[in-house]
Amino acid sequence: MSAPEGGLPADGRPQYDWETIERSPEFRELVSRKRAFIVPGTIFFLAWYLGFIVLAGYAPDFMGSEFLVDGLTVGYVLALSQFLMTFVLGWMYLRKADRVFDPLAERAVASAEGREHAAAETAAPEPARQPQPSGRVLPQ
């Protein structure tokens, strides 16, 4: 295995043992936590949006009906709910990314670099990982 800083290959990309990192428990946890947010989040916003569009196309009478007061339509209220959804889901993603995904990504990178150095210097098997100072990476 080559050291990570051991010169760049022809395509100019830095080299790591990508396959080992990809299989590491830290990376697996990162992608599964991300997937657990992004997949349901995407399904939800696409469904809510496409539901709105389908109603606008096929149920104009329903969309034009009065909502609570004269002048306000169901369609406009549903359109506003799309704005609200975009702000809220965007904000939730940012919060989750700052608090959960970023620390997990850092941990995956740190342990990968730890492994590389250990392998290059001592050819020892995987060293014990440094305990992480931040408790925020733990599932909430």
Binding site residues, another protein, CB under 8 A:
13-14, 16, 18-19, 21-22, 27, 30-31, 34, 38, 41-42, 45-46, 49-50, 52-54, 56-58, 60-61, 63-64, 69-73, 75-76, 79, 82-83, 85-87, 89-91, 93-94, 97-98, 102, 105, 108-109, 112
The token pair that represents 112 in the structure block: 């990968």
Distance CA 24, CA 127 (A): 13
d(CA 26, CA 116): 15
Yes or no: say if 78 and 41 are a contact pair by the CB < 8 Å rule.
no
- Closest approach of Cβ 125 to another protein, in Å? 21
Q: Least separation, in Å, of the C-beta of 17 and another protein?
A: 9
Euclidean distance between CA atoms 95 and 135, whole angstroms: 16
Where are any strands of DSSP class E within 83-124? Answer: none
Choose between 31 and 120: whose C-beta lies nearer to another protein. 31
Shortest distance, position 35 Cβ to another protein, whole Å: 10
Side-chain half-sphere of 31: how many Cα atoms within 13 Å? Answer: 7
- Residue 67: beta bridge partners? 69
Measured from the CB atom, is 47 or 127 closer to another protein?
47
Q: How far is the CB of 138 from another protein (least distance, A)?
A: 19
Kindly tell me which of 65 and 130 has the beta carbon lying closer to another protein: 65
